Amino acid sequence: MNAPLKILDIARLREEFPILARDAYGKRLVYLDNAASAQKPRAVIDAMTQTLTRSYANVHRGLHLLSNEATTAFENARKTAARFLNAASPNEIVFTSGGTDAVNLVAYALGASEIGEGDEIILSLMEHHSNIVPWHFLRERKGAKLKWLDISDDGEIDLEAYRSLFTKRTKLVAISHMSNVLGAPTPAKALADIAHEHGAKILFDGCQAAVHGKVDVQAIGCDFYAATGHKLYGPTGVGLLYGRADVLDALPPFRGGGEMIEMVTTDYVTYNDPPHRFEAGTPPIVEAIALGAALDWMERTGLDAIAAHEAALLAHALDELRKLNFVKVYGQAKVKAPIVAFGVDGAHPHDVAAILDRTGVAVRAGHHCAQPLMRRLGVSSTARASFAAYNDHDDVEALIAGLVKAHEMLG
pLDDT tens per residue across span 244-264: 999 999 999 999 999 999 999
Percent of the chain with pLDDT over 90: 97
**Annotated active-site residue in 369, 379, 401, 404:** 369
CB under 8 Å, gap of 24 or more: what pairs does 74-81 form? 74/283, 74/285, 74/288, 74/289, 76/289, 76/292, 77/288, 77/289, 77/291, 77/292, 77/293, 78/275, 78/288, 78/292, 80/292, 80/295, 80/296, 81/240, 81/291, 81/292, 81/295
By CB atoms closer than 10 A (0-12, 13-18, 19+), residue 1 is exposed
Task: Give the integer Cα–Cα distance in Å for 200 and 194.
Answer: 9
pLDDT of residue 204: 98
Domains of the chain: 10-39+302-410 (3.90.1150.10), 45-299 (3.40.640.10)
Q: Summarize pLDDT for 370-383 with one digit per residue, the tens.
A: 999 999 999 999 99
pTM of the predicted protein model: 0.97
Tell me the average pLDDT across 120-124.
Answer: 98
Is residue 2's pLDDT more than 90? no
Tell me the average pLDDT across 43-54.
Answer: 98
Is residue 1's pLDDT more than 60? no
Is residue 31's pLDDT more than 90? yes
**339 phi, psi to nearest 5 deg:** -125, 120
Percent of the chain with pLDDT over 70: 99
pLDDT of residue 47: 98
Tell me the average pLDDT across 123-139.
Answer: 98
Check if the beta carbon of residue 377 is closer than 8 Å to that of residue 330: yes
Tell me the average pLDDT across 301-329.
Answer: 97
Tell me the average pLDDT across 132-148.
Answer: 98
Q: Summarize pLDDT for 381-397 with one digit per residue, the tens.
A: 999 999 999 999 999 99
Catalytic status, residue 207? no
Tell me the average pLDDT across 130-152.
Answer: 98
Listed residue (44, 30, 50, 35) closest to 301, CA to CA = 44
Task: Give the integer Cα–Cα distance in Å for 70 and 119.
Answer: 43
- pLDDT tier at 188, thresholds 50, 70, 90: very high
pLDDT of residue 3: 63
Is residue 166's pLDDT more than 70? yes
The residue ranking higher by pLDDT, 395 or 4, is 395
What is the residue-averaged pLDDT of the chain? 97
Tell me the average pLDDT across 296-313.
Answer: 97
Q: Summarize pLDDT for 194-240 with one digit per residue, the tens.
A: 999 999 999 999 999 999 999 999 999 999 999 999 999 999 999 99
pLDDT of residue 5: 72
Task: Give the integer Cα–Cα distance in Å for 171 and 184.
Answer: 25
